[in-house]
């Protein structure tokens, strides 16, 4: 096989010639493969002689099979030899094919663009580190959440008040019947709904004007249940119910956990700022293919969140926000572009710094992750033999990049 290469921006074009002798081998293999699949009277499947297969199968079928296998194999050879960083499947054009002759084809493939980076280490040092601190209100909020998560509820015959757990059914002319359950006073996404529920009793019905997406609408509400929430007192006894020996030990654990979260948040914020500063000084043409792929990923993520968090269909969501899917994708474009640009910058740093994740490092990280699950051996085995392994490898390399950048 011989080939010539030409580059146009971030597209490579290969003109390939496979010798007559090489291509003949693929034609023979195609004949054998078809012979294993063909069924002919008087022969067992898979045991049809080659000359009988050739006499009973259209030559064009054998040829097309040989061409497909040959191009696939030769393209893999070229990719490995040239270290091509393709971002999509190649466009293949067969230029000449005939049994007993060389095979000629052209392959066009879009690749990652060349990235000329600024002095990224100098830029990283210009972004100051901030000391992670937790405010007293952070601790109080965490304790409040913990106490409320262990609250006891009892049916209430009186009127609904802030702090009560209320269950309702609601509907309107534009909204099909739905059920909801929430704590009064926490802030419902229908503005005005909670105020309208205060003072109602179980089985009461009422029309309440709410604001949804900046528009006022009237909904009919039926109160199904009202429950009083009894929040436990913070003391040693409560601490023991959540696995600690005393209130003091619980407080120490909560504060340490909050500090770790804050440190992680500060680190992530600094990483984002460094990457944004590097991106501003990097002149880079981001491929539309990658932008579209990232955009679709953002859209799919939104669809999953709508289904899981709002528990409505995406079509219902689109009606609520009064937008089309295409409008939402348009809104995602800038975010998608910046994400891809960040990926390309990190990838270029990885190449320039010769960053790799060894098999030992990947396996160790997988073992750490698997230890958090019940059947850790099975989990580790599954991760090592799936795409999860590549995600772990990427995560290790990304951490090494940010270590070089001092964050």
Find how far residue 292's CA is from the centre of its chain.
Answer: 14
Assigned token pair, 42: 């008087």
Q: What is the pLDDT of residues 41-50, one digit of tens each?
A: 666 666 667 7
Assigned token pair, 311: 């528990």
Q: What predicted TM-score, i.e. pTM, was given to this entire model?
A: 0.74
Q: What is the pLDDT of residues 246-294, one digit of tens each?
A: 999 999 999 999 999 999 999 999 999 999 999 999 988 899 999 999 9
| 11-18 and 2-8 strand pairing | antiparallel
| For residue 213, pLDDT beyond 90 | no
- 310 vs 142, more confident: 142
| For residue 224, pLDDT beyond 90 | yes
Closest listed residue to residue 132, CA positions, set 249, 258, 251, 274: 258
CATH architecture of 2-110: 2-Layer Sandwich (3.30)
Q: State residue 405's pLDDT score.
A: 94
Q: State residue 68's pLDDT score.
A: 95
Q: State residue 321's pLDDT score.
A: 84
Closest listed residue to residue 49, CA positions, set 38, 60, 59: 38
Q: What is the pLDDT of residues 14-55, one digit of tens each?
A: 999 999 999 999 998 988 888 777 777 666 666 667 777 777
The domain locations on the chain are 2-110, 115-151+235-283, 152-230, 353-407
Q: Say what percent of the chain tops pLDDT 90.
A: 74
| For residue 65, pLDDT beyond 80 | yes
Q: Sorting pLDDT into bands at 50, 70 and 90, what band is 5? A: very high
CB-CB contact of 369 with 382 (8 Å): no
Please give the Cα distance from 194 to 187 (Å, whole number). 7
Which class is domain 152-230? alpha beta
Q: State residue 47's pLDDT score.
A: 65
Q: What is the pLDDT of residues 312-345, one digit of tens each?
A: 889 988 988 889 999 999 999 999 999 999 999 9
| For residue 373, pLDDT beyond 90 | no
Phi and psi at residue 94, to the nearest 5°: -80, 125
Please give the Cα distance from 45 to 48 (Å, whole number). 7
């Amino acid at each position: 096989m011989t080939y010539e290469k030409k580059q146009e921006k971030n597209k490579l074009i290969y003109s390939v010639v496979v010798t007559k002798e090489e291509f003949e081998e693929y034609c023979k293999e195609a004949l054998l493969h078809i012979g294993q699949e063909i069924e002919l009277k008087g022969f067992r499947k898979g045991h049809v002689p080659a000359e009988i297969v050739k006499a009973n199968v259209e030559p064009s079928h054998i040829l097309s099979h040989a061409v497909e296998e040959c191009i696939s194999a030769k393209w893999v050879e070229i990719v490995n030899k040239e270290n091509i960083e393709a971002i999509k499947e190649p466009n293949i054009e067969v230029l000449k094919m005939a049994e007993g002759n060389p095979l000629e084809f052209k392959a066009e493939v879009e690749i990652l663009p060349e990235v000329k980076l600024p002095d990224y280490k100098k830029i990283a040092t210009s972004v100051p580190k901030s000391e992670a601190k937790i405010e007293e209100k952070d601790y109080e909020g965490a304790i409040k959440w913990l106490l409320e998560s262990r609250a006891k509820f009892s049916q209430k015959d009186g009127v609904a008040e802030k702090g009560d757990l209320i269950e309702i059914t609601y509907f309107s002319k534009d909204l099909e019947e739905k059920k909801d359950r929430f704590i009064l006073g926490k802030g419902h996404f229908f503005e005005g709904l909670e105020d309208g529920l205060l003072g109602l009793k179980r089985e009461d019905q009422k029309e309440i004007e709410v604001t949804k997406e900046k528009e006022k609408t009237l909904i009919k509400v039926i109160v199904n249940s009202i429950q009083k929430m009894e929040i436990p007192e913070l003391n040693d006894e409560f601490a023991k119910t959540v696995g600690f020996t005393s209130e003091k030990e619980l407080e120490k654990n909560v504060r340490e956990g909050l500090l770790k979260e804050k440190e992680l948040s500060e680190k992530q914020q600094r990483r984002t700022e460094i990457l944004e500063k590097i991106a501003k000084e990097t002149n880079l043409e981001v491929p539309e293919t990658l932008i579209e792929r990232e955009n679709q990923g953002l859209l799919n993520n939104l669809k999953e969140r709508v289904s899981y968090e709002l528990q409505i269909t995406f079509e219902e969501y689109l009606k609520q926000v009064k937008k089309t899917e295409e409008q939402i994708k348009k809104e995602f474009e800038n975010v998608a572009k910046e994400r891809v640009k960040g990926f390309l910058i990190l990838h270029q740093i990885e190449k320039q710094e010769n960053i790799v994740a060894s098999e030992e490092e990947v396996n160790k990280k997988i073992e750490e992750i698997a230890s958090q699950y019940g059947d850790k051996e099975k989990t580790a085995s599954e991760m090592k033999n799936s795409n999860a392994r590549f995600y772990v490898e990427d995560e290790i390399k990304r951490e090494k990049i940010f270590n070089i950048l001092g964050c």
